[in-house]
């Protein structure tokens, strides 16, 4: 996993994620998937980055 890549189109502060860029508050992936754990999402907290994986 090349976390030296910083995708300036995806700002992210989740440093616990294995895809977080080592070089700034960005994601290192080319694209991510956003989803929800709610049946009817109405707030920011209803949304999830489904590409998140816990850093080992
Ligand atoms: S996969 Fe999601 S949570 Fe992980 S660094 Fe990228 S945007 Fe952040």
pTM for the model: 0.92
Within a 13 Å sphere around the CA of 14, how many CA atoms are in the beta-carbon half? Answer: 15
Asked whether residue 1 is domain-assigned, the answer is no
Q: Flag whether 41 is in a domain.
A: yes
The answer as to whether 35 is a domain residue is yes
The reported pLDDT for the residue numbered 1 is: 65
Q: Mean of the pLDDT values across residues 14-21?
A: 98
- Pick from 27, 31, 35 the residue to mutate for probing ligand 1's pocket: most ligand atoms within 8 Å of its CB: 27
How far, in Å, CA of 35 to CA of 3, rounded? 23
Structural domains in the chain (count): 1
State in Å: Cα 40 to ligand 1 middle: 23
Ligand 1 atom, smallest distance to 26 CA: 5
11 forms bridges with which residues in the sheet?
26
Which three-class secondary structure state does DSSP give residue 45?
helix
In a domain, 34, yes or no: yes
Taking 70 as the threshold, does the pLDDT of residue 30 lie above it? yes
Mean pLDDT along residues 43-48: 98
What tokens does 42 get?
């109405």
């Amino acid at each position: 996993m090349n976390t030296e890549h910083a995708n300036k189109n995806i700002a992210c502060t989740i440093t616990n994620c294995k895809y977080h860029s080592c070089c700034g508050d960005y994601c290192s992936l080319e694209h991510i998937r956003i989803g929800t754990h709610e049946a009817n999402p109405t707030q920011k907290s209803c949304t999830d980055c489904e590409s998140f994986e816990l850093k080992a």
